[in-house]
Amino acid sequence: MRLALIAHDKKKDELMAFASDHESALSEADLMATGTTGKRLMEVTDLDIERKESGPLGGDMQIGSEIAEDDCDGVIFLRDPLTAQPHEPDISALLRLCDVHDIPLATNLASAELLVSQIFN
């Protein structure tokens, strides 16, 4: 199981807490994340995470490539729908790819909970 973890700046703390709460389940997955998010996740958990470039440098596109190549089974992208900044990853391209390739994409904590509970139970 290969899972991508991404978060807009204002949602990074929420993703850190989520990953800490679900560390046992997430440790069973092959994880990848955008650069800054991956670095922070590894600082607060013992998870092994393949870090892509940071969002502004194309990390979201690298994850998109993994989706297009059928090398990703799910995406958790905690997005900030109200104050996302122009330098942050754009969810629209990833959403389109996930829909084309029938990959689940969680955009908030409630859907992330459902995704993890379905994949790892």
Binding-site positions for substrate read 8, 12, 34-37, 54-55, 87
Residue ranges of the binding site: 8, 12, 34-37, 54-55, 87
**Tokens 């069973």 found at:** 28
Do 4 and 74 form a contact (C-beta atoms < 8 A)? yes
Which amino acid, residue 101? H
Active site residue 102: no
Taking alpha carbons only, the member of 65, 17, 21, 16 closest to residue 36 is 16
Count of residues in the chain? 121
Catalytic position from the list 30, 60, 73, 80: 60
- Catalytic residue numbers, as ranges: 60
